[in-house]
Structure 1
Amino acid sequence: MIARTTRPLVLYESGFAPRWYVPREDIQEKELTPVEGQTFCLYKGLASYYDIGEAKKAAWSYREAYTEVGRVDDLVSFEPDKVEVYLDGERLHLEPGQQVVPHGVDRGLGTDEVLSH
């Protein structure tokens, strides 16, 4: 077991399954291996990723989330299609079409440009 919490935070976003975030104090962080590189979310900021054992990019965190979504700042969320995630004893599964699929960006905005502001 990597994480166990009685105080998860749920984030609802249009078109995605609810994402559950866990406080770092409730995670065995030694089991998370930081992955090089980040992605940018227009609404939350820069996401950092973690491998868990053989599961690649199985968790992520917004280490410095935007003020508007500050409640998820530095919390960790787990991909239920890559690791087993349970809520109240029931295993979570992503519904078809709920995965985030990289599709490119309109003008080539990269994480370097975001970090420079």
Structure 2
Amino acid sequence: MPTPPQGHLVTTVHSTQTVTIEIDGEIVARSERPVVLYETGLPIRYYLPPDDVELTRFEPTDTHTTCPFKGEASYWTYQGNGGTGPRTDVAWAYTDPIDSVPDIAGHLCFYDTVARITVEGEPPAPPA
């Protein structure tokens, strides 16, 4: 994997915030133990343990991307709620992330352009 550019930081912090994920009116995840990821130039991301996600509503896809700061991501499609159809690649996870971000291994993160992400509580400060 290529060496990340200087000055780009990715850090994680365990949190006790309550994070709720809703897609098409259906709550598909709720966690009180997210891993908060801070990355230079990007918004805060919340990675949720798979036990806190309604995985029966999702199917893995063949989509994979590589991030030089986190590793290879795999994606999931939301299967729809009643009359709504599937939504492709709405969540991703790093099954085996690079050594600098081991806390996100297997945790799912959702696109805020598709999912309504509600966070209760203040995020923990990023590591100094």
TM-score with structure 2 setting the length: 0.66
Task: Name the CA distance, whole Å, in 2 between partners of 1:37 and 1:76.
Answer: 15
Q: Does 1:40 align with 2:66?
A: yes
Looking at structure 1, the residues matched to 113 and 88 of structure 2 have their Cα atoms a distance apart, in angstroms, of: 11
Contact residue 38 and residue 46 of structure 1 kept, 8 A: yes
More helix by share: 1
User: Structure 1, unaligned stretches of length 5 or more?
Assistant: 90-117
1:26 maps to: 52
By how many angstroms is 1:35 displaced? 1.1
Per the alignment, residue 76 of structure 1 pairs with 108
Match of 1:50 in 2: 76
Partner residue of 2:22?
none
| Matched pairs, number | 89
**More RCO (CA 8 Å, sep 6+):** 2
Residue deviations 1:70-103, cap 9 Å, x none? 00011000111111111118xxxxxxxxxxxxxx
**1: CA distance, partners of 2:97 / 2:74:** 11
**Do 1:55 and 1:83's aligned partners in 2 also have CA atoms closer than 8 Å?**
no
| Identity in percent | 31
State TM-score, norm by structure 1: 0.72
